[in-house]
């Protein structure tokens, strides 16, 4: 019984940690996607300009 209780407590703690991380990261998703798009466009332009 003690092993099952500790497993459930660990599972609950992991779920809580994942939830808190998601609440912290979720508002940043649009900024990350925008930054990736800008980096890809700049990389494409740089690649086209420096290609032989």
* Structure confidence by residue, pLDDT tens digits, 6-43: 999 999 999 999 999 999 999 999 999 999 999 999 99
Instruction: Using pLDDT thresholds of 50, 70 and 90, give the confidence band for residue 51.
Output: confident
* Rg, C-alpha atoms of the chain: 22
Distances (CA, A) of 14 to 28, 33, 51: 22, 27, 48
Looking up tokens 């332009």 gives: 45
> What domain count does the chain have?
1
> Rounded to 5 degrees, what angle do the CA atoms 36, 46, 49 make?
155
Helix boundaries (H) for the chain: 2-25, 29-50
41: containing domain: 2-50
Res 44: pLDDT:
95
52 has a pLDDT exceeding 90: no
Neighbouring C-beta atoms of residue 45, cutoff 10 Å: 10
């Amino acid at each position: 019984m003690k092993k099952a209780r500790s497993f459930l407590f660990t599972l609950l703690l992991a779920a809580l940690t994942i939830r808190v991380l998601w609440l912290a990261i979720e508002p940043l998703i649009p900024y990350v996607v925008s930054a990736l798009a800008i980096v890809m466009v700049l990389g494409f332009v740089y690649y086209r300009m420096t290609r032989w």
